[in-house]
Structure 1
Amino acid sequence: MRIFVLTGAGISADSGLGTFRDAGGIWDKFDPMKLATPAAFAADPERVHEFYNLRRRDMLAARPNAAHVALGRLGEGLKVDGGALFLCTQNIDDLHERAGSRAVHHMHGRLSRALCSSCRATREWRADLGVTDRCAACGRVGTLRPDVVWFGEMPYGMPEIEEALARSDLFVAIGTSGAVYPAAEFVEIARMMGILTLEFNLGKSANAHLFDESVYGPAIESVPRFVARLLGTGGEGL
Structure 2
Amino acid sequence: MPSFTLPRAFRAARITRTHKISAAVVASASCAATLALTAAPGNAETTAAQAPAGVKPVSANGLPLTAKDRADDGAKDRQVASSLTAGLKVTAVAKQGHTAKQAADRSADRKIIAAPKAAPNAAPKRYANNLDGWIRQSLAIMKSKGIPGSYQGLHRNIIRESGGNPNAVNNWDINAINGIPSKGLLQVIQPTFNQYRVAGTANKLTDPIANITAAANYAANRYGSIDNVNSAY
Q: The TM-score by the shorter chain falls in which range? A: under 0.3
Q: Which structure carries more strand by proportion?
A: 1
TM-score normalised by L of structure 1: 0.19
The structure whose RCO (Cα within 8 Å, separation 6+) is larger is 1
Q: Give 1 or 2 for the bigger CA radius of gyration.
A: 2
Q: Which structure carries more helix by proportion?
A: 2
